[in-house]
Amino acid sequence: MLRFVARRLALLVLMLGGLIVITFVVSNIAPADPAALAAGPDATRDMIETVRHEYGLDQPLPMQFLRYVSDLLHGNLGRAIQTGDSVSDDLARYFPATLELVLLSTAFAVIVGVGFGILAAVRRNRLFDHAARIFAVSGVALPAFWAALLLQLVFGVYLGWLPTSGQLSVATAPPDPITGMVIVDALLRGQLGVAGEAFRYAILPAFVLALPSIAAILRVNRAEMIEVLNADYVTAARAHGVGTRRVIGWLALKNAMLPTLAMIGLRLGWTLGSTFLVETVFDWPGIGLYAVSSALASDFKPVMGVTLIIGITFMLSNLLIDLAYGWLDPRTRTA
Amino acid sequence: MSDIALDRVAVPLRRDATLRRLRFVVWTFSGSVSAVIGLMLVAAFLLLAAIGPWIVPYPADATGAMHLAQKLQPPSAAHWFGTDEMGDDILTRVVLGTRTSLWVGALITGIAAAIGVPLGIVAGYLGKLPRAIIMRVTDVFLAVPGLALALAIVAALGAGVLHGVLALAAVWWPGYVRLIEAKALTLRSEPYVEASRTMGAGHAWVLWHHILPNCASPLVVKASMDMGLAILAVASLGFIGLGAKPPAPEWGAMISVARSYMPDWWWYSFFPGLFIFLTVLGFNLLGDGLRDILDPGSARG
């Protein structure tokens, strides 16, 4: 196991290096002159040249790359035009909200996906199963932003059950930040009312973000469960008098683990990409919304910063999933 | 010499087998509900894309004609899907958007496959150093969430449909390398491939006659799935405001504008979204059904 962990960590360093190269290349494909952009619209020729020299943009590309890497290692991601702050400060401010949303949506995906998958397998070919299968197929085809608008319409406007934008109502003072995640902070500060309200605000965006993952997890769990229920050892267990509930509960949880983990890993990239859309629709103050508003304002540095952070988050969580997988199923350690 | 002999024997046999396989495909298709639905949806959208301009009720509305007297009307007999803030017929715009979406979907999938398949074949068939280099680069790309990287590329290039297509193709090819590399790697050591190599067949002959045909079915399945996902991704960029610009009739961009007319004028965003959903669903179902048909071994659930 230790060797497996060491190898995965070495691979991670390699991947991070690759990510840095990719973002550097992408920053350099912009057709516009970066020095002219940085100097502003009214800059004279001299000013642009000064900026070019100051930023090292007159240096050859390999030198620029070294400078880029050293800036990254110092946590210097440049300055955002819109907020006027440094990109790394902005990221630190907006990232917890995104993390909270992604974690909550993963929790939804696992609970609903596993639960409904098992239920569908147990009630095979009954109405619930048919509904679950239709959802499993169509869930991944749902445009997140459209599903978000429809759910806002139904649950926010017609039924009036759930709020549709932001993290908290304007009247509520957010808890003093500890982790930056509003629900967690409110719980840590003992403000249960605020935590409840924040949770209500998070339900719709987290659910929309979870939809495709719910569909995918439901699908594998249903298939897995059907296979297990027909296996010889289950028949044997039943013959020995083990009750249905226990068979399902015990086997289901045990067997649901691996495919669910694998599915989370597979869907995570798509989930992280979809936060841009979901945060835009729900005015959720995370890095997705930050990146989109910056991109629309042709402010490039924040977008690059967000891409880096999302890339790193994705790699780290894949590492965690791989390690968990290796721990649960020793056969995968060699892969 | 062996080339000629092999070809002469293979041709009549293959024709017979093709006919039988075709009949088998039709039979299997008719057994798979999802494949039939998928095929029907895809066929319907292809038809819409082909004849759209001739069947829509108000062709002029696609390019941003203004009829402010009849703006934001609910669905009615004259306007089945209602009208937008310019008074344009939403049905017309949504139907004409089909062509854009299918085009960009096909372009992205096509470019991604054109880059990924040759790389995958080189990596899997040659192995050794080429494989190590290609697969490392591929792994790095696979380790970055595609939509996030695509957004960064579009932000660098500037908004627009063409830039969106380039950006998405740039993040889409690694999947094809992965798929084809794995397939070519296993095929390389198949007895019949080794046998034909022993009999003097060149690398090119083996690639053309053994490796490529055997990669065809997973490729078709993936391409079908990717058509749907690529259409979804382009619509997403359009929704964010980095894709097509209004008044171009693109589904994502339409919903982007329509969003500010929620909830009172719900039909404005409902119908373009429904079209995205059904198109993506169609390609997904078709891909799923094709997998069951072309690759029965993987059929599960």
pLDDT at B274 (0 to 100)? 94
CB contact under 8 A, A222 and B301: yes
Other C-beta atoms closer than 10 Å to the C-beta of A316 total: 12
Per-residue confidence (pLDDT) for residue B12, from 0 to 100:
55
Here the tokens at position B172 are: 């889409």
Q: Do A314 and B145 touch (CB under 8 A)?
A: yes
Reading the block at residue B159, the tokens are 């908004």
* CB of A268 closer than 8 Å to CB of A216: no
Spatial CB neighbours of B255, under 8 Å, sequence gap ≥ 6: A143, A145, A146, A149, B235, B238, B239, B269, B272, B273
Across the interface, do A222 and B235 touch by the CB < 8 Å criterion? no
Tell me which residues of chain A, numbers 135 to 154, contact chain B at a CB-CB cutoff of 8 Å: 137-138, 140-146, 149-150, 152-153
Would you state the pLDDT for residue A7?
Answer: 86
Distance CA A199, CA A205 (A): 11
Give residue B213's pLDDT: 85
CA angle A210, A211, A213 (to 5 degrees): 65
pLDDT tier at B280, thresholds 50, 70, 90: very high
pLDDT at position A158? 86
Question: Is a pLDDT exceeding 60 seen at residue B4?
Answer: no
pLDDT single digits (tens) B203-220: 888 888 888 888 888 898
Assess A300–B contact: CB distance below 8 Å, yes or no. yes
DSSP string, A155-214: IIIIS--S--SSSS-TTSPPPPPSSS-HHHHHHHTT-HHHHHHHHHHHHHHHHHHHHHHH
* Chain A residues touching residue B234 (CB < 8 angstroms): none
- Please say whether the beta carbons of A221 and A229 come within 8 A: no
In angstroms, the CA A29 to CA A74 distance is 24
Of the candidates A297, A277, A142, the one whose C-alpha atom is nearest the C-alpha of residue B240 is A277
Find all residues with CB under 8 Å of B244, minimum gap 6, and list them: B100, B160, B161, B164, B238, B250, B252, B253
Burial of A172 (0-12, 13-18, 19+ CB in 10 A): middle
Q: What is d(CA B143, CA A16) in angstroms, rounded to the nearest whole number?
A: 9
Token readout for B78 is 């004259």
Rounded Cα distance between A147 and A162, Å, is 15
Q: Please name the member of A14, A272, A281 whose beta carbon is closest to the beta carbon of B145.
A: A272
Residues of chain A with pLDDT below 50 are 335
For B177-206, what is each residue's pLDDT tens digit? Answer: 999 988 888 888 888 888 888 888 888 888
ipTM here: 0.85
A277: nearest Cα among A183, A208, A203: A208
Tokens in use for A96? 């917890």
pLDDT value for B299: 45
Which residue did the predictor score with more confidence, B269 or B73? Answer: B269
Q: CA A170, A175, A177, A180 torsion: positive or negative?
A: negative
Per-residue burial over B117-133, b = 16 or more CB atoms within 10 Å of its CB, e = otherwise: bebbbbbbbeeeeebee
* B147·A219 Cβ contact <8 A: no
The average confidence (pLDDT) of chain B is 84
A14/B145 Cβ within 8 A: no
Each residue of B34-90: pLDDT tens digit? 788 889 999 999 999 988 888 888 777 777 677 777 777 888 877 888 888 777 888
Enumerate the residues of chain A whose CB falls inside 8 A of the CB of residue B301: 219-220, 222-223, 226
Residues 161-220 of B with CB under 8 A from A: none
Can you give the pLDDT at residue A334? 63
Six-digit token pair at B276? Answer: 């995205």
Which chain B residues in 133-152 lie under 8 Å from chain A, judged by CB atoms? 136-137, 139-141, 143-149, 151-152
Min distance B28 CA to chain A CA atoms (Å): 19
Mean pLDDT of B263-290: 89
Q: Which residues pair with B83 in a beta bridge?
A: B89
Answer yes or no: are the C-beta atoms of B215 and B117 closer than 8 Å: yes
Q: Which two tokens stand for residue A224?
A: 């897995």
* pLDDT of the residue at B235: 93
Contact A137 B288 (CB under 8 A): yes
Q: Do B301 and A304 touch (CB under 8 A)?
A: no
CB distance A277–B239 less than 8 Å?
yes
Q: Do B141 and A141 touch (CB under 8 A)?
A: no
* Both structure tokens of A111: 């609970």
Interface test with A, best of B136, B140, B271, B278 (most A CBs within 10 A): B140
Are A55 and A67 contacting, i.e. CB atoms less than 8 angstroms apart?
no
**Residue B1 pLDDT class (50, 70, 90 cuts):** very low
Asked if A18 lies within 8 A of B273 by C-beta distance, the reply is no
- Closest Cα of chain A to B149: distance in Å? 6
| Cβ within 8 Å, pair A144-B236 | yes
Q: What is the pTM of this model?
A: 0.86
**Residues 304 through 323 of chain A touching chain B, CB cutoff 8 Å:** 304, 306-307, 310-311, 314-315, 318
**B9 pLDDT above the threshold of 60:** no
Between CA A300 and CA A291 the distance in angstroms is 9
Confidence category of residue B301, pLDDT binned at 50, 70, 90: very low
CA distance B280 to B229: 7
